[in-house]
Amino acid sequence: MASPTQEGTTEPAQAGGLPQFDPQWWPGQIAWFSLIFLVVFLLMRSVFVPRIGGTIEARDAKIEGDIADARRLKAEADAQAQAAAAETAQARAQAQKLAADARAQAKAEISASLSAEEAKLAETTEAAEASIRAARDEAMGNVRAIAADTAGAIVAKLTGQAATPGEIDAALAAKA
């Protein structure tokens, strides 16, 4: 790009080149800048850096503390959840045990009453059998007397002579 008038022609301070090299304004700039630098530096050191740095540190510490708190609370909650789960499991086991116990007790009771009934039944049967046996024995005893009577009567009819009870007994005993 061509420029028609690159260099200014009517520039008073440009006679010696750049205005920056004009020594007239150096002492003022040096003195003022040094003073300003010193003031800003002292303010930085005593106020701004401690405050801003302190704030950043405090924030970091707070975030770290909050995270630690959250971690601790989470661990607590986890522990509580675990405890609750354990409690539930225990309660369930207890309930199962209780149910099993009840079932076993009921079974035992049933079997006990069953055996009692059976025993009673057996006793009744026994008694019945005993009475039957007694009745039969009695009947059998009667049969012997009847047989002796009949035998005496038969002997008397056939022989015309009554046999003695001793003879009949002997005959019955020999027959039996």
Partner 1 sequence: MAAIEPMKQFLIERVEWLPPIVVGGFDLSVTNSVLMMLIAAVVIVVSLGMSAKGAIVPGRMQAVGESLFDLIDGTLVTPIIGHNGKPYIPFVFTIFMLVLTMNLMGVVLAVGHVGGLDWTFTPTAQLAVTATLAVITFMSVLVIGFIKNGLGFFKLFVPPGVHWAMALFIGFFELISFLVRPLTLAMRLFGNMLGGHVVMNIFASFVVALGAVGLAGFGLNSLGLVGSGLSLAMVIALTGLELVVAGLQAFVFAALATVYLNEVVNLGHGH
Is 29 a binding residue for partner 1 by CB under 8 A? The answer is yes
- What DSSP assignment string belongs to 130-152? HHHHHHHHHHHHHHHHHHHHHHH
Q: Which stretch binds partner 1 (CB under 8 A): 30-38, 86-94, 102-110, 122-130?
A: 30-38
Angle at 95 (CA atoms; ends 89, 109), nearest 5 degrees = 155
Report the C-alpha gap between 93 and 98 in whole angstroms. Answer: 8
Is 70 a binding residue for partner 1 by CB under 8 A? The answer is no
Q: Which of residues 103-132 bind partner 1 (CB under 8 A)?
A: none
Q: Three-class SS of residue 25?
A: helix
Is 67 a binding residue for partner 1 by CB under 8 A? The answer is no
9: Cα separation from own chain's centroid: 99
> Minimum distance from CB of 69 to partner 1 (Å)?
15
Site residues (CB under 8 A) for partner 1? Answer: 1, 3-11, 13-14, 18-22, 24-34, 36-37, 39-41, 43-45, 47-49, 51-56, 58-59, 62
